[in-house]
Amino acid sequence: MTGAVLAGGKSLRMGREKGLVEIRGQSMIATMASILGTAPGIDSLIIVTNNPSRFSFLDMPMIPDYFPAKGPLAGIHAALRAVRDWIFVTACDMPFLSPELPRYLWNRRDGVDVVVPRIGGHWATVAALYGPGCLPELERALDYGSPGLVDVVNRLRVRSVSERDLFRSGIAPRSFFSVNTPDDVCRANGTALETIAAE
pLDDT per position as a tens digit, 36-53: 999 999 999 999 999 999
With beta carbons less than 8 A apart as the criterion, state whether 138 and 89 touch. Answer: no
CA distance 139 to 120: 29
Q: What residues of the chain score a pLDDT lower than 70?
A: 9-16, 146-147, 191-199
DSSP state of 28: H
Q: What is the pLDDT of residue 199?
A: 52
pTM of the predicted protein model: 0.91
Q: What is the pLDDT of residue 191?
A: 63
Q: Residue 162 burial (CB < 10 Å; 0-12/13-18/19+)? A: exposed
Q: What is the pLDDT of residue 3?
A: 98
Please state which CATH number belongs to domain 2-195: 3.90.550.10
What mean pLDDT is reported for the chain?
90
Parse the chain into domains and list their residue ranges.
2-195
Alpha-carbon distances of 30 from 54, 85, 170, 190, rounded to whole Å:
12, 24, 24, 19
Q: What is the pLDDT of residue 34?
A: 96
DSSP state of 170: T
